[in-house]
C-alpha cells in the first residue's frame, strides 16, 4: 500500500518537476505562470490592460491572415448553399424590396419628425456617425459569440459603442484596442438588451441564447400571452446602453415543450457578417438664437424636405401603378394563349381516344380469327357435334373465344 | 553535399509541423463551426497536445504550448491564461501517464484522454462561471468533450502516420 503511494508521488513529482533535455521550463513553473496570468487578467491594472491591448492587436491581425484559407473554404461552402436557393430568394427579395421602398419613405418622414421633437425636448442633439468596419476575426465559437472589427480607439470607438448590420443592431463593443475592437453579439449568453415589444408596447430584456436567436426575459407573468407572432422587437433605450428605436428582430413561435419561453429571431444573420457599422456618437449643444430669420430657415428646410419626400412617394406609387397595369395586360394575354392551347389539346385527346378504341376492336377481331382457325371445328354445329353452334352467331363467337 | 543539406532542412521543417499546426489551429479555431451543426464542436489542440506530449515528441516544448494557450485565449476572448492552464494540465497528465505506463495501449490512452478532457473542461467551466461570472451552456462543453473524444482516434491514426514518416 505504502509502496504504491510512493510510486504515485514519485510519478507526480516527476511529471511536475522533471525537465526533459529539450524542455526549457518545468511544468510546475509554467502552471504557476498561467495561474499568475489568470489572476493578472482578472485584475484591471492599467499596465496589464495596455500589454493586453498590444498582444490583442498583434494576435488579431495574425489570426486574420492565418484564417484566410479557412475563410475561403467557409465562403465557398456558403456560396454553394446560397446558389441552390438563389432563384427563390431572388423572387422573394424582389417583392420585399418593393414593399420596403414604400415603407422607407414613411419611415424617413417619421425619423425627421422624431428628430424635430427631440430637438424641442432636449437642449442637445446627439449626432452620430456610422463608420464602416471590417470583421477581421469571426470564429463563431460555440462558447462565446463575439467578433473582432478593424476599428479601435484611433477611430473614436469606445466600450459600449453600438454596432449595426445596416440598420439592425448586432451588438456592442466590449474591448477596445488601438486599431481593433471586440464586439459582443446579441446572441451571446452574456448579452442583455432592454427592449420594447411592439405593438403591445411591453418592456423586456433580450438575452442571447448562445444560438442564433435571443430569448425574452424579465417580463411580468401573464404578459407573454399577449405576444403575437411577428411582433417587432426594438431597443427601448433604457439604461442608456443602447440607443432607442433600433430594430432587433421579430418574435418567434416558442417550442411546444418550452412553455413560457419566448424567442426572438434576429433580423441580422450573425454568421454571415462581413462588414458592420460602428456608431460614434457626439453630443452637440443647441444654440438658442433670437434671430427669427434663422428659425424660419430651419422651419423651412424641414418643410421642403417633407415635401420632397412626399413627391418622391407619389412618384414611386405612380411608377408601381403603371408597372402593375402592364403586368395585368401581360397576364391577360397569357391567359388567352393558355385557353387556346387547352382547347387544342382537348381535340387531340378526343382523336387519340377514337384511335385507341378502333385499335382495341381490331385486336379483338384478330384474336377471334386466330382462335377460329384452331378451335372453330369444336364449336361448329355438325352432324357429329350437335352441341355446337351455327357459324356467325354470337354464341359461336363466345365459344371460340372461350377456348383460349 | 547540397542535397544532404536540403534533405536536413526538409526534415527539420517536417519535425516542426505539429507545432505549426498547433499555432495555426489556435489562431484559426479549426472546428468546422460554419457547418452550423447544432452543438457540434471539438477541441483540436487538446488532441494534438495530448498525443505529442504523450509520445514525448522532441520539438513539443512546454513553453510553446503555454504561448499557444495565451493566443487561444486572445482569439476566443477568454480571460488570459485559462487555455494555457488547460493545455499544461494535459501535459502534466500525459507526463504522469507516461511515467506509470509500462506497456502503452491505444485504447487505454483513448479513455485516459476522455477522463483528462472531461476533468479539464470541468475546471474550465468552473473557473469561468465562478470567478469570471461568464454565462455558458454546459451542454456545449459536454458535446465538445464527446466529439473531441471521438475525433481523437481519427487524428491519432494520422499523427501515427506522420511519426512513421519521420522515423523513416
pLDDT in tens, chain B (168 residues): 455 556 677 777 888 888 888 888 888 765 555 555 666 778 889 999 999 988 888 778 888 999 999 888 888 888 888 999 999 999 989 988 888 888 888 888 999 999 999 999 999 999 888 888 888 888 888 988 998 999 999 999 999 888 888 777
**Residue B152 within a domain:** yes
Whether B102 is in a domain gets the answer: no
* Pick from B36, B38, B88: CB nearest A27: B88
Q: Is the pLDDT of residue A349 over 90?
A: yes
Same domain, A158 and A258: yes
Can you tell me the mean pLDDT for A351-364? 91
Q: Which residue has the higher pLDDT, B67 or A6?
A: B67
Nearest residue in A to B29, CA atom: A139
The answer on pLDDT for A295 being more than 50 is no
Is the Cβ pair B99, A15 closer than 8 Å? yes
B20 interface with A at CB cutoff 8 Å: no
For chain A, the helix, strand and coil percentages under 3-state DSSP, each to the nearest 5: 55, 20, 25
Q: What chain A residue is nearest to B78 in terms of C-alpha separation? A: A144
Residue A96 lies in a domain: no
A135, containing H or E segment = strand A124-137
Residue B9 domain flag = yes
Residues A265 and A150 in one domain: yes
Residues B82, B86, B92, B95, Cα dihedral to 10°:
-140
Query: Is A135 within a domain?
Result: yes
Same domain, residue pair A251 and A365 = no
Q: At A203, which CATH number?
A: 2.40.10.340
Whether B59 contacts chain A with CB within 8 A: yes
Domain count, chain B: 1
Asked if residue B140 belongs to a domain, the reply is yes
C-alpha to C-alpha distance for A174 and A152, rounded to whole angstroms: 11
DSSP letter for B98, please: H
Cβ-Cβ contacts under 8 Å, B85 against chain A:
31, 34-35, 38
For A360, phi then psi, to 5°, come to -60, -45
Are A142 and A278 part of one and the same domain? Answer: yes
Q: Are A252 and A373 in a shared domain?
A: no
CA distance B168 to chain A (A): 22
* pLDDT at residue B84, as a whole number: 92
Residue range of the domain that includes A181: 125-286
Nearest to B27 among A63, A144, A210 (CB): A63
Residues A273, A135 share a domain: yes
Contact B61 A24 (CB under 8 A): yes
User: B41: which chain A residues are within 8 Å (Cβ-Cβ)?
Assistant: 141-142
Nearest to A40 by CA among A55, A25, A28, A24: A55
Q: Is residue B103 part of a domain?
A: no
Mean model confidence pLDDT for chain A: 79
Q: A140 and A236, same structural domain?
A: yes
B63 Cα to chain A: minimum distance (Å): 7
Q: Is residue B99 part of a domain?
A: no
Q: Which residues of B touch A41 (CB under 8 A)?
A: 79-81
Gap between the Cα atoms of A387 and A397, Å rounded = 14
Give how many domains chain A has, as a whole number.
Answer: 2
**Residue A251: cis peptide before it, omega within 30 degrees of 0:** no
Vertex B66 angle, CA B63 and B71, to 5°: 125
What would the pLDDT profile of A169-182 be if each residue is shown by its tens digit?
A: 889 998 888 888 99
Question: Quick one: CA torsion of A377, A383, A389, A393, rounded to 10 degrees?
Answer: 90
Cell numbers describing residue A231: 411582433
Nearest to B96 among A12, A41, A143 (CB): A12
Taking 80 as the threshold, does the pLDDT of residue A281 lie above it?
no
Q: Are residues A364 and A282 in the same domain?
A: no
Residue B31 is predicted with a pLDDT of 56
pLDDT band at residue A5 using 50, 70 and 90 as cut-offs: low
Residue A23 lies in a domain: no
Are A253 and A165 found together in one domain?
yes
Cell numbers linked to A165: 448590420
Contacts A–B by Cβ distance under 8 A: 144
B84 touches chain A (CB under 8 A): yes
Q: Which three cell numbers stand for residue A259?
A: 412553455
Whether B69 and A34 lie within 8 Å, measured CB to CB: yes
The answer to whether B18 faces chain A, any CB pair under 8 Å, is no
**DSSP for residue B127:** I
Boundary (domain end) residue, out of A236, A256, A286: A286
Do A142 and A253 fall into the same domain? yes
Flag whether A115 is in a domain.
no
Q: How far apart are the C-alpha atoms of A223 and A207, rounded to whole Å?
A: 18
Does any domain span residue A119? no
Residues of B in contact with A182 (CB under 8 A): 77
Q: Give the mean pLDDT of A2-29.
A: 69
Mutate to test the interface with B, among A7, A143, A272 (most CBs of B within 10 A): A143
In Å, how far is A83's CA from the nearest CA of chain B? 16
Given a contact cutoff of 8 angstroms between Cβ atoms, the answer to whether A263 and A251 are in contact is yes
Contacts of B112 in chain A (CB under 8 A): none
Chain A partners within 8 Å of B79 (Cβ)? 38, 41-42
pLDDT tens digit sequence for A121-143: 665 555 667 888 888 887 667 67
Per the domain annotation, does B74 fall within a domain?
yes
Mutation target to probe the B interface, by most B beta carbons within 10 A, among A37, A43, A53 is A37
Give the residue-averaged pLDDT of A267-283: 81
Q: Which residues span the domain enclosing B60?
A: 2-29+37-92+111-167
Burial class of residue A388, CB neighbours in 10 A (0-12, 13-18, 19+): middle
Question: CA of A2, closest CA in chain B: separation in Å?
Answer: 16
Residue ending a domain, choose from A222, A255, A286: A286
Q: Does B101 touch chain A (CB under 8 A)?
A: no
Strand partners, B98: none
Q: Does some domain include residue B100?
A: no
Q: Chain B, 106-125: which have a CB under 8 Å from a chain A CB?
A: none
Domain boundary among the residues A246, A262, A286 is at A286
d(CA B13, CA B35): 32
A-chain CB neighbours of B54 within 8 Å are: none
Burial of A49 (0-12, 13-18, 19+ CB in 10 A): middle
pLDDT in tens, A41-85: 777 777 777 888 888 888 888 888 887 887 788 778 777 877 777
In contact, A162 and A151? CB cutoff 8 Å: no
Residues A130, A276 within the same domain: yes
Q: Choose among A20, A31, A66: nearest Cβ to B24.
A: A66
Q: Mutation test of the interface with chain B: which of A7, A15, A80, A205, choosing the one with the most B Cβ atoms within 10 A?
A: A15
Please indicate whether residue A161 or residue A260 has the higher confidence score (pLDDT).
A161
| Count of Cβ atoms closer than 10 Å to residue B6 Cβ | 10
Cβ <8 Å between B137 and A189: yes
3 state DSSP class of B141: helix
Min distance B129 CA to chain A CA atoms (Å):
11
Set of chain A residues whose Cβ sits within 8 Å of the Cβ of B70 = 37, 55
Number of H helices, E strands in chain B: 6, 0
Model pLDDT, residue A355: 92
**b/e map B108-128, b = 16+ CB within 10 Å:** ebeebbbebbbebbeebbebb
Kindly tell me if the per-residue pLDDT of A324 is higher than 60.
yes
Report the pLDDT averaged over residues A100-126: 69
Predicted local confidence at residue A288, as pLDDT? 53
Q: Judge whether B25 and B48 are in contact, CB under 8 Å.
A: yes
Amino acid at each position: 500500500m505504502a509502496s504504491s503511494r510512493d510510486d504515485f508521488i514519485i510519478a507526480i513529482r516527476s511529471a511536475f518537476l522533471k525537465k526533459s533535455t529539450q524542455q526549457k521550463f518545468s511544468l510546475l513553473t509554467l502552471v504557476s505562470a498561467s495561474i499568475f496570468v489568470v489572476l493578472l487578467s482578472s485584475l484591471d491594472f492599467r499596465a496589464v490592460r495596455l500589454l493586453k491591448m498590444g498582444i490583442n492587436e498583434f494576435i488579431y491581425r495574425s489570426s486574420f491572415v492565418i484564417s484566410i484559407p479557412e475563410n475561403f473554404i467557409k465562403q465557398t461552402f456558403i456560396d454553394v448553399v446560397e446558389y441552390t436557393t438563389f432563384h427563390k430568394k431572388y423572387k422573394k427579395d424582389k417583392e420585399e424590396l418593393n414593399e420596403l421602398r414604400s415603407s422607407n419613405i414613411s419611415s424617413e418622414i417619421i425619423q425627421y419628425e422624431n428628430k424635430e421633437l427631440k430637438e424641442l425636448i432636449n437642449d442637445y442633439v446627439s449626432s452620430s456617425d456610422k463608420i464602416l468596419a471590417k470583421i477581421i476575426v469571426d470564429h463563431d465559437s460555440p462558447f462565446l459569440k463575439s467578433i473582432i472589427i478593424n476599428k479601435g480607439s484611433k477611430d473614436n470607438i469606445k466600450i459600449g459603442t453600438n454596432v449595426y448590420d445596416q440598420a439592425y443592431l448586432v451588438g456592442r463593443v466590449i474591448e477596445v484596442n488601438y486599431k481593433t475592437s471586440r464586439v459582443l453579439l446579441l446572441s451571446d449568453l452574456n448579452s442583455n438588451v432592454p427592449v420594447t415589444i411592439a405593438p403591445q408596447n411591453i418592456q423586456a430584456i433580450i438575452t442571447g441564447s448562445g444560438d442564433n436567436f435571443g430569448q425574452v426575459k424579465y417580463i411580468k407573468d401573464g404578459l407573454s400571452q399577449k405576444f403575437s407572432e411577428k411582433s417587432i422587437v426594438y431597443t427601448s433605450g433604457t439604461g442608456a446602453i443602447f440607443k432607442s428605436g433600433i430594430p432587433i428582430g421579430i418574435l418567434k413561435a416558442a417550442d411546444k415543450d418550452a412553455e413560457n419561453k419566448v424567442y426572438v429571431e434576429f433580423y441580422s444573420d450573425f454568421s454571415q457578417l462581413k462588414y458592420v457599422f460602428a456608431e460614434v456618437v457626439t453630443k452637440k449643444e443647441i444654440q438658442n438664437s433670437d434671430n427669427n430669420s434663422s428659425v424660419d430657415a430651419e422651419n423651412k428646410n424641414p418643410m421642403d424636405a417633407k415635401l420632397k419626400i412626399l413627391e418622391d412617394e407619389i412618384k414611386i406609387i405612380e411608377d408601381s401603378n403603371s408597372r402593375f397595369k402592364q403586368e395585368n395586360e401581360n397576364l391577360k394575354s397569357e391567359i388567352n394563349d393558355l385557353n387556346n392551347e387547352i382547347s387544342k389539346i382537348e381535340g387531340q385527346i378526343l382523336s387519340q381516344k377514337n384511335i385507341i378504341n378502333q385499335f382495341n376492336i381490331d385486336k379483338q377481331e384478330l384474336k377471334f380469327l386466330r382462335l377460329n382457325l384452331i378451335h372453330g371445328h369444336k364449336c361448329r354445329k355438325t352432324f357429329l357435334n350437335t352441341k355446337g353452334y351455327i357459324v356467325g352467331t354470337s354464341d359461336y363467337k363466345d365459344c371460340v373465344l372461350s377456348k383460349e | 553535399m547540397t542535397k544532404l543539406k536540403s534533405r536536413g532542412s526538409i526534415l527539420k521543417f517536417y519535425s516542426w509541423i505539429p507545432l505549426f499546426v498547433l499555432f495555426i489551429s489556435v489562431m484559426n479555431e479549426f472546428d468546422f463551426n460554419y457547418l452550423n451543426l447544432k452543438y457540434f464542436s471539438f477541441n483540436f489542440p487538446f488532441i494534438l497536445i495530448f498525443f505529442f506530449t504523450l509520445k514525448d515528441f522532441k520539438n513539443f516544448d512546454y513553453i510553446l504550448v503555454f504561448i499557444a494557450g495565451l493566443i487561444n485565449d486572445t482569439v476566443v476572448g477568454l480571460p488570459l491564461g485559462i487555455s494555457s492552464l488547460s493545455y499544461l494540465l494535459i501535459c502534466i497528465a500525459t507526463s504522469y501517464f507516461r511515467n506509470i505506463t509500462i506497456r502503452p495501449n491505444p485504447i487505454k490512452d483513448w479513455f485516459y484522454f476522455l477522463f483528462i478532457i472531461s476533468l479539464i473542461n470541468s475546471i474550465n467551466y468552473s473557473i469561468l462561471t465562478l470567478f469570471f461570472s461568464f454565462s455558458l451552456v454546459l451542454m456545449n462543453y459536454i458535446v465538445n468533450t464527446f466529439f473531441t473524444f471521438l475525433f481523437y482516434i481519427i487524428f491519432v491514426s494520422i499523427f501515427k502516420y506522420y511519426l512513421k514518416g519521420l522515423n523513416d
